Structure 1
Amino acid sequence: MIKNISISSFINAIFTIAVVAILITFALFINLDMQKHQIMQKNRYEIIAENFLSVFNKKPSKSQLDKLYEQFKVKQVKSREEKLNILNYGYALSIKKTYLGTYRIYLYDSEYYLYAQQLGYNLMLKDLHSNKYNIAVIILILVLSLSTILFLYIILKRKLKPLKELNCEITKFSKGNLDIKIKPKSNDEIGEIAKNFDAAITLINNQTESKNLFMRNMMHELKTPITKAMFIAETLEDERSKMMLQKAFKRMDDIIKELATVERITSKTSVIYKEVTSFFNIYKKTLEIMMIESSNISSKINDFTFEVDISLFSVALKNLIDNGIKFSTDKKVSVIVDKKRIDVISKGCKLKYKLDYYTEPFSQEEKRADGFGLGLYIVKTIVNMHKYKLNYSYKDGYNYFSIITA
């Protein structure tokens, strides 16, 4: 599951856990520290109370009491009204009875008071050195800790920002935009990746341009002599030689047309011009391109309208029908169409490999050596450009090539 989490989400999760852990740790620490502080205060007051109660048995003089006041940092509360306020409204933290007498610890108006009682002595003492619990220092440390975590988080996110930008550029490149330029913004590993990827893009663009230039030149150079040769073949008197030459030149002309289609649909400048049309118009144009007898094709068309590049989609349908006729055992195909799918059905043996094998350029089975291996590659490329899907299935001795449109 962790493998599927993005780096950004993983970092966010780690820092969130760190912040929560710090908050919980400080909360536990404050709770324990407050308990420790209360125990220390209680022990201090027990010592003070026991000292005063033990002195009361000896009927101490004023000077002896003053000495104890100074020793334990306490002050006698003499005002009767103040005593009553403390006894009535103060919060009693502890009440303890000993063989020496009774003492109480009060918290009143954020001050600690000790009230010692023994026979005729009722002494209210205010703690001048109460050592109040100060949470401000702990909060300051907490703020500093969280600020450090936040600072590290911001630094790390900024460090990874070029990686996010690089991912966006790679996504654009994967969608066919070959004109992107990636400029390294640092000298670290991310910068090296950006630099190497930019070099790879430049190399790919150069190779693509060379390929396109080669194909255009090759097709241009071959087209003219093939056309002339076909005219010359027409003048031959030997019908057998004439037909053989015409067939050979026709095949060469078909190959050039296939290569031209491949060059168009794979070029980085390739644009499909979609327009709303009916399937019947596509089918009609397909038959015009094929220039074959319609007796080889049976159709059952439930006509519908859709938005496609008419020229390209007609080529894709033409290649499916052409393949079906060429490789069927009876040289016939059936075209069954509705709004959701276009099926081209032909009788024959099941494909030896999966469909992906045949949709790669220049791939074919040994027995199909008369093909050039580009037909299904062109079909799949055009289908994908329209966001449709090409499927293959085999049922009861028939091959089904289907374009799923919905």
Structure 2
Amino acid sequence: MRQNAVLLTILFALIVTLSSVTYTFLQFYKLNKNQHNSNIFTKYSVITQIYRQHMQKNTSSVLLEANLAVYDLYPVTGEVEINRVFEAGTILKQEGFKTASNVFMLSKQQVVQQRTVQDIRATMLKSMGKIYFFIESWKGRLLLEDAKLKPYTPYNLLVAYITITGMIIISYILILIRIHPLRRLRARIKQYGKGDMTVSFRVKGYDEIALLANELENTRLNINELMESRTLFLRNIMHELKTPIAKGRITTEMVENPKHKARFKSIFLRLESLINEFALIEEVTTGFKDTELSDYRIVDLIDGAIDLAMIEHDPVTVDVNPGRKIKADFKLFSTAIKNMIDNAMKYSPDKKIRICTHDREIWFESRGEKLLHPISFYVEPFTKEHPARDSFGLGLYLVDAILKVHDMVLAYEHEDGVNRFIFEPLHVNNNFTRSKR
């Protein structure tokens, strides 16, 4: 969900906008409809006036129909037709009221005023696309069809609603089109992060996204140039250093003093080891991401590490299931194990190490004092716990770098005088596998 947060936000804004517009137009529709019905319902006053005069004067039906026809009102006759109108009809407005009439009568030389009150109810209906008025009184009922008035049709309002809604949806689509390059840019950045240094971020155009992508492209080119310069520098300096080191080792063999000879040999071996570690670091930090991992038995990786350390198997106790495998680069992972063996040989009083597996972890146990600092302190290059002692050099730094590209981390704990370094997977779905028996 987080990956589509922008799209979801825009979609949410679209839904809120369309809902607001729809609600507003719905209220407009109800208001206009009520106003329209109220306006046309005022015609009932004319109808009731004509109908009241008809009742008071007891005029003929022909005269009543003639008076109503002046206002485009025509009686509906026939029970079938009347029932059809009522069955398909909808009441729009209804109102009941009383009418009063004064009649003066002469009785025995006296004038008598007689007041008559009559109940009349007027109902306006919509049926089959026409407007009808239904008049009810004590004298009878009358259904009238209005040939002039029409039911409310929200045509203009509907056109406005469709136009505004269409513009909003088109705007939403245009926004999606404009931000679509961001998805491609994100995919290219991800590809670049995986080690594809040739991917291009360049985008045609002059909008904000194009400017951002082109700036990223310029940055990519600068980074590539810096990395190429760094790689070239390291390779040249390692090549230049190997020649004098080789000459120094040859010259050391000519030294007659055994003590001086051993010291010089140790110095040149140390320099050669540093050069090789620099080469591995350069390989890990630049080109390893393109390397495919393969399944190897852990015991085979340990044997390769012992061979690299150039020691006998006796100081190394291996307590690992022979069928246990791990996805790794053989050369690099063997080097990481070799550096752990070297540290044990250097700092353990008994010069022994035990290698075992526990769940999904690889443990390296050796006797010794507890480290004074967290493990993060020792994975930095050339760290020293005490000035009088040798530094850890690039050993643990290289181990940490190799483990990172294997989705693992270096952990440490101390228990009962035993230092325990642990190769610990970062994720549950790690590189460990078991061979089928």
Q: TM-score range by the shorter chain?
A: 0.7 to 0.9
Question: Residues 36 and 257 of structure 1: is their aligned pair in 2 closer, same or farther, counting only changes over 3 Å?
Answer: same
Of 226-235 and 236-245, deviating more is 226-235
Residues 343 and 400, structure 1, Cα contact 8 Å, conserved in 2: yes
Give the one of 387, 390, 406 matched to 2:407.
387
Alpha-carbon distance, 1:390 to partner: 3.0
Of 216-225 and 241-250, deviating more is 216-225
Of 202-211 and 170-179, deviating more is 170-179
Residues 131 and 145, structure 2, Cα contact 8 Å, conserved in 1: yes
Alpha-carbon distance, 1:331 to partner: 3.9
Q: Which amino acid aligns with 2:267?
A: A
Residues 65 and 74, structure 2, Cα contact 8 Å, conserved in 1: no
What is the SS of the residue equivalent to 2:400?
helix
Name the counterpart of 1:318.
338
Over the residues paired in the alignment, what is the CA RMSD in angstroms? 3.1
Q: Is there any run of 5+ residues in structure 2 with no aligned partner, and where?
A: 100-117, 425-430, 433-437
The answer to whether residue 300 in structure 2 is matched with residue 281 in structure 1 is: yes
The answer to whether residue 120 in structure 2 is matched with residue 102 in structure 1 is: yes
The answer to whether residue 364 in structure 2 is matched with residue 344 in structure 1 is: yes
What is the SS of the residue equivalent to 1:285?
helix
Residues 76 and 82, structure 2, Cα contact 8 Å, conserved in 1: no
Q: Is there any run of 5+ residues in structure 1 with no aligned partner, and where?
A: none
Name the counterpart of 1:253.
272
What is the SS of the residue equivalent to 1:98?
strand
Give the one of 415, 419, 422 matched to 1:402.
422
Structure with greater helix percent: 1
Structure with greater strand percent: 2
Name the counterpart of 1:205.
224
Q: C-alpha separation between the residues in 2 aligned to 1:276 and 1:257?
A: 25
What is the SS of the residue equivalent to 2:252?
helix
- TM-score, normalised relative to structure 2: 0.80
Q: C-alpha separation between the residues in 1 aligned to 2:43 and 2:148?
A: 11
Alpha-carbon distance, 1:63 to partner: 7.1
Q: C-alpha separation between the residues in 1 aligned to 2:297 and 2:9?
A: 50
Q: C-alpha separation between the residues in 1 aligned to 2:359 and 2:64?
A: 109
Give the one of 72, 77, 91 matched to 1:74.
72
Alpha-carbon distance, 1:270 to partner: 5.5
Identity %: 25
Q: Deviations over 1:18-69 (max 9, x none)?
A: 223323333343344434444444x424323332233222456877874554
Q: C-alpha separation between the residues in 2 aligned to 1:84 and 1:267?
A: 92
Q: C-alpha separation between the residues in 1 aligned to 2:271 and 2:4?
A: 52
User: In the TM superposition, what are the counterparts of 1:204-243 in structure 2 within 5 Å?
Assistant: 204-243=223-262
Of 32-41 and 149-158, deviating more is 32-41
Name the counterpart of 2:42.
44
Of 353-362 and 163-172, deviating more is 353-362
Residues 337 and 343, structure 1, Cα contact 8 Å, conserved in 2: yes
- TM-score, normalised relative to structure 1: 0.86
Alpha-carbon distance, 1:283 to partner: 1.0
Residues 327 and 348, structure 1, Cα contact 8 Å, conserved in 2: yes
User: In the TM superposition, what are the counterparts of 1:83-102 in structure 2 within 5 Å?
Assistant: 84-85=82-83, 89=87, 91=89, 93=91, 94=94, 96=96, 98-99=98-99, 100-102=118-120
Name the counterpart of 2:353.
333
Larger Rg: 2
Name the counterpart of 2:10.
11
Alpha-carbon distance, 1:265 to partner: 1.5
Q: C-alpha separation between the residues in 1 aligned to 2:271 and 2:34?
A: 95
Give the one of 371, 380, 383 matched to 2:391.
371
What is the SS of the residue equivalent to 1:177?
coil
Q: Deviations over 1:337-396 (max 9, x none)?
A: 356221112334444444344434455545487336422232222223233343233334
Residues 96 and 104, structure 1, Cα contact 8 Å, conserved in 2: yes
Q: Deviations over 1:168-191 (max 9, x none)?
A: 222122222222111133323322
Residues 68 and 74, structure 2, Cα contact 8 Å, conserved in 1: no
